Amino acid sequence: MINSYFNLSNIVIYRILMAKKIIVILITTFTLIANAHAGSDGELVLKKNEPSKIKDCSETFNKASFALNQGLDKIIFKPVSSVYRVLPSPIKTGVSNSLNNLSNVVTIPNNILQGEFALAAVNAGRFIINTTIGIVGLIDVATYLGFDEYVKEDYGQSLASYGVGPGCYLVLPVIGPTTARDTIASLTNFIGGDAWYNVTVKNDTHYFTDIDYYASRVTAGVDFRAKNFDSIENLEKNSLDFYASVKSLYLQDRQQRILNSQKIIETQDDSDWEEIETQ
């Protein structure tokens, strides 16, 4: 009787805490959205995501996380990726392809959220073909068939496309650089927005376990590190301020992903260049 009373009260406390968490998240999200002025045209999105304008509100915390992540990189990611990068190309391509294929389960709902219905259909077709004919995504059959180049989308990009500003720049332990908006948006993955998380961690499907999910996340980290191995080493060696370099590169990359553009004239403010006359 007493046990069941405690169990019941634990459940009640847990639910209250969860509800409180969700309310905090919702309030923060709506505050961010309220700041968005409902504007979502390209120029406004470009301005809001301008890297030099994004504030580093918790710099001390961020720098501590950055140092921790550098330590983890030296102990785990760098040694593992230095071995991974010398594996035969077909193995690396297969791993990279299957990770890309898996990311479709987040990209497709975000294509829909951004109103890109045709693209959502193309990516759904890509996912079905690559998962079946492409042997769980190891071979990118869809690209051979002439599908357009695959572009990943996430919930942060969808929020940004609605005009939600990035908020402060953050560096999270293990996860790395992000922004307040993208951190909040990424929680969607854990409340049903990521089908891969749902079938591995959230629900007991008997086919997958938690380990499958976490292994895929770690492999994605190693794959990224290996692909950028020389660039990261070079950047660290030649930077006056490595933390500031990583912040700038991350935010520039994020800006062009949000705008779905690599075109220089769309993502760069040229006014500063125009002032400099040397000829």
Partner 1 sequence: MKRKLLVSLIIFFSVISVSFSIEPDVFVQSTVNRASKLLSDGISKDEKIEKLKSIAKETVDIQGIGFYTLGAKRKSLTNDEKKKYSELFEIYFLKSFSSRLAEYTNPEIDVIAKEKLNDNYTIVNSVLKATNERPKINIDWRIYTKNPENPLIRDLIIEGLSLARTQKEEFASVLSSNNDNIDALFNVLKEFSNN
The residues that touch partner 1, with contacts defined as CB under 8 A, are: 51-52, 85-86, 89, 227-231, 234, 237-241, 243-245, 247-249, 252-253, 256, 262, 264-265, 267-268, 270, 272-274, 276-279
**87 or 135: CB nearest partner 1:** 87
- Minimum CB–partner distance for residue 21 and partner 1 (Å): 34
φ, ψ at 172 (rounded to 5°)? -100, 145
Looking at residue 39, its amino acid is: G
- Minimum CB–partner distance for residue 245 and partner 1 (Å): 5
**144 or 214: CB nearest partner 1:** 144
Asked if 54 and 166 touch (Cβ cutoff 8 Å), the reply is yes
- Minimum CB–partner distance for residue 125 and partner 1 (Å): 24
**182 or 194: CB nearest partner 1:** 182
- Minimum CB–partner distance for residue 122 and partner 1 (Å): 22
**103 or 200: CB nearest partner 1:** 103
SS (H, E, C) the chain: CHHHHHHHHHHHHHHHHHHHHHHHHHHHHHHHHHCCCCCCCHHHHHHHCCHHHCCCCCHHHHHHHHHHHHHHHHHHHHHHHHHHCCCCHHHHHHHHHHHHHHHHHHHHHHHHHCCCHHHHHHHHHHHHHHHHCCCCCCCCHHHHCCCCCCCCCCHHHHHHHCCCCCCCEEEECCCEEEEHHHHHHHHHHHHCCCHHHHHHHHCCCCCCCHHHHHHHHHHHHHHHHHHCHHHHHHHHHHCCCHHHHHHHHHHHHHHHHHCCCCCHHHHCCCHHHHCCCCC
**7 or 93: CB nearest partner 1:** 93
Nearest Cα to Cα of residue 145 among 128, 161, 120: 128
- Minimum CB–partner distance for residue 262 and partner 1 (Å): 4
- Minimum CB–partner distance for residue 53 and partner 1 (Å): 11
- Minimum CB–partner distance for residue 59 and partner 1 (Å): 9
Return the number of other C-beta atoms located less than 10 Å from residue 178's C-beta. Answer: 20
**35 or 234: CB nearest partner 1:** 234
**51 or 176: CB nearest partner 1:** 51
